[in-house]
Amino acid sequence: MLNLDRFHSNIFGRIALFDVHCHLQDSRILHKVPELIRAAREKGVQWMAVNGTSEEDWHVVKKMGEEHASVIPCYGLHPWYVNERSKDWLSKLKSMLESEPAAAVGEVGLCQSKKGREVEVDVQVEVLRQQLHLARELHRPVAVHCVRAFGPLLQLLEEMGHFPEGLILHSFMGNQEQVKQLAKYNAYFSFSGFATSLKRQKAKGVWRAVPLDRLLLETDCPDALPSLELSSLAWVSGDPDAPSQSKCCEDEDAKPSSEPGAGALNQPANVRALLTYVASLLELSEEDLAEKTFRNSESLFSYPGTKLKL
């Protein structure tokens, strides 16, 4: 259970935040990880769940988890990379998870985007089934990617049943009915900056359909930069697509744009801006929403072997 005294008095004297899904191992930002973690901590982000996506990056995520106390490693085979898996991928994944009790499972899932359709859906479903079985066997939560594939996902979950350790529907962009259907299997719903591109009324309808004890926040960085005022966001230093300091800060009469430069990089510190936006939609104080999402996140990541100090 969350220690509320510890929550309200985190070491920065700010509200505590949890980025439940990011990709700090991405080559676009890997060289800046210490800087990005410092920036996140300064915004109150105490934990970052870094999700591996293929056999190629699991070792990078593992090393990051060993070097940074605030990084929770996660290992999984993303649907985009299913065709590239080795013959013994599943035994490798199991070995990684067994050797790292602090690790969760992810990123796994189903994808019918243009890139996702390069992998046959039946193959994606079978690979996902194996990883869900592994997560259940090892009593770990699992981060699930689902794009235009809620039908096959729900069919698989109906077959497998309830997940006691929890399913994280990462970067959720579904509808209110899907919230009801997925919640039956112990799903949690994580919102990223992608959701800020939705019309405000649509976003409000979906987010209010999520029970507050199922709501999570993430960055999915380095992608999913929130479509919010430039002045509210943290920018990756050296990113050529980020607005310059002169544009962003020096002209007091300039009105911040809600359209960041195409391709600008995201980072865990931007959970703070996302919190502000979601709190306004749900008509909650930022403190209340931070407390609820932190409590939910900590509950999910408090399995035996966790890094969290409970």
* 139 is an annotated ligand-binding site residue: no
Asked whether 16 and 213 are in contact (CB, 8 A), the reply is no
Residues 6+ positions from 30 with CB-CB distance below 8 Å: 24, 60
In order of 14, 265, 295, the CA distances from 130 in angstroms are 41, 33, 29
Helical H segments across the chain, by residue range = 4-8, 33-42, 58-67, 89-99, 121-138, 150-160, 176-183, 200-209, 245, 271-282, 286-300
Asked if omega into 222 is within 30° of 0 (cis), the reply is yes
Give the separation between CA 152 and CA 296, rounded to whole angstroms: 27
220 is known to lie in a ligand binding site: yes
Place of tokens 């697509």: 241
- The answer to whether 73 and 141 are in contact (CB under 8 A) is no
Is 8 flagged in the annotation as binding?
no
- Tell whether 133 is in a known binding site: no
CB-based contact 151:186 (threshold 8 Å): no
Tally of helices (H runs) and strands (E runs) in the chain:
11, 8
Q: If you write DSSP's letter for every residue of 39-72 in order, what string do you get? A: HHHHTTEEEEEEEP-STTTHHHHHHHHHH-TTEE
Would you list which residues are annotated within the binding site for a divalent metal cation? 21, 23, 107, 145, 170, 220
Would you list which residues are annotated within the binding site? 21, 23, 107, 145, 170, 220
